[in-house]
Amino acid sequence: MGKTVHIITSPVMGTFYRASAPDKPPLVEPGQSVKPEDIVCMIESMKIFTEIRCGHTGVVEKILVENEDPVMKNQALMEIALR
Amino acid sequence: MLFKKILIANRGEIALRIIRTCREMGIPTVAVYSDADRDSLHVRRADEAVHIGPALSRKSYLNQAAVIAAAKQTGADAVHPGYGFLSESAAFAQACHDSGLTFIGPSARTIARAGDKSAARQTLMELGIPVIPGSGDVITSPDAACDTAEKVGYPVILKAAGGGGGRGMRIARSRQDLAAAFSVASAEAGAAFGNPALYLEKYIEKPRHIEIQILGDQSGSHVHLGERECSIQMRYQKLIEEAPSPFVDEPLREQLGSTAIRIAKAFEYTNAGTMEFLVDRNRNFYFMEVNARVQVEHPVTELITGIDIVRKQIEIAAGRELGLTQSDIRFDGWAMECRINASDPADNFMPSPGKITSVKFPGGPGVRLDTHIYDQYLVTPFYDSLIGKLCVWAPDRDQAVRRMKRALDEFEITGIATPIDFYKKVMTHERFQNGDLDTHFLEQMDTL
Each residue's pLDDT tens digit, B139-172? 989 999 999 999 999 999 998 887 666 677 899 9
Q: Give B227's contacts (C-beta < 8 A, 6+ positions apart).
A: B210, B211, B212, B213, B243, B244, B245, B248, B253, B256, B257
Q: Give B191's contacts (C-beta < 8 A, 6+ positions apart).
A: none
Q: What is the pLDDT of residue B311?
A: 98
Q: What is the pLDDT of residue B138?
A: 87
Contact A41, A52 (CB under 8 A): yes
Enumerate the β-bridge partners of residue B48: B30
Reduced to 3 states, what is the DSSP secondary structure of residue B147?
helix
CB < 8 Å to A13, chain B: 353-354, 381
Interface test with A, best of B352, B355, B379, B416 (most A CBs within 10 A): B352
Long-range CB contacts (< 8 A, 24+ apart) of B34-40?
Answer: B34/B59, B34/B60, B34/B61, B34/B382, B35/B60, B36/B380, B36/B382, B36/B383, B37/B11, B39/B377, B39/B378, B40/B11, B40/B12, B40/B372
Question: What are the two backbone dihedrals, phi and then psi, of residue B275, each rounded to the nearest 5 degrees?
Answer: -105, 120
Count of CB atoms situated within 10 Å of the CB of B114:
25
Whether the bond between B155 and the residue before it is cis, its omega within 30 degrees of 0, is yes
Q: Is B293 a catalytic residue?
A: yes
Name the amino acid, one letter, at A21.
A
Percent of chain B with pLDDT over 70: 99
CB spacing of B351 vs A12 below 8 angstroms: yes
pTM: 0.92
- Write the residue in A13, A15, A48 that is nearest to B56 by C-beta: A15
Contact B205, B440 (CB under 8 A): no
Name residues 37-66 of chain A within 8 A of B (Cβ). 44-48
Q: Give B155's contacts (C-beta < 8 A, 6+ positions apart).
A: B171, B172, B173, B202, B203, B205
Question: What are the two backbone dihedrals, phi and then psi, of residue B103, each rounded to the nearest 5 degrees?
Answer: -85, 120
CA angle at B188 for the pair B184 and B190, rounded to the nearest 5°: 120
Q: What is the pLDDT of residue B161?
A: 80
In angstroms, what CA-CA distances link B280 with B202, B226, B277, B284, B367?
Answer: 12, 18, 10, 5, 32
Q: pLDDT per residue over B97-132, tens digit each?
A: 999 999 999 999 999 999 888 888 889 999 999 999
CB < 8 Å to A44, chain B: 381
Q: What is the pLDDT of residue B267?
A: 97
Q: Which helix (H) or strand (E) holds B24?
A: helix B12-25
Enumerate the β-bridge partners of residue B222: B216
Instruction: Give the distance from CA B125 to its chain's centroid.
Output: 23
Count of CB atoms situated within 10 Å of the CB of B87:
23
Q: What is the pLDDT of residue B197?
A: 85
Q: Which residues of B70-85 are buried (b: 16+ CB within 10 A; e: fewer)?
A: bbeebebbbbbbbbbb
Q: Give B442's contacts (C-beta < 8 A, 6+ positions apart).
A: B232, B233, B234, B239, B426
Contact B156, B169 (CB under 8 A): no
User: What's the rounded Cα separation, in Å, for the pair B231 and B313?
Assistant: 26
CB < 8 Å to A47, chain B: 383-385
Q: Which residue in the list B170, B208, B293, B368 is annotated as catalytic?
A: B293
Q: What is the DSSP letter of B59?
A: G
Ranges of residues in chain B whose predicted pLDDT is under 70: 163-166, 448
- Write the residue in B342, B343, B381 that is nearest to A14 by C-beta: B381
CB spacing of A13 vs B354 below 8 angstroms: yes
The gap between the terminal CA atoms of chain A, to the nearest Å, is 14
Where in B328-398 does DSSP place strands (E)? 334-341, 343-344, 350-351, 354-355, 358-360, 367-371, 378-379, 386-394
Q: What is the pLDDT of residue B164?
A: 65
Query: Which of the four pLDDT bands, split at 50, 70 and 90, describes residue A6?
Result: very high
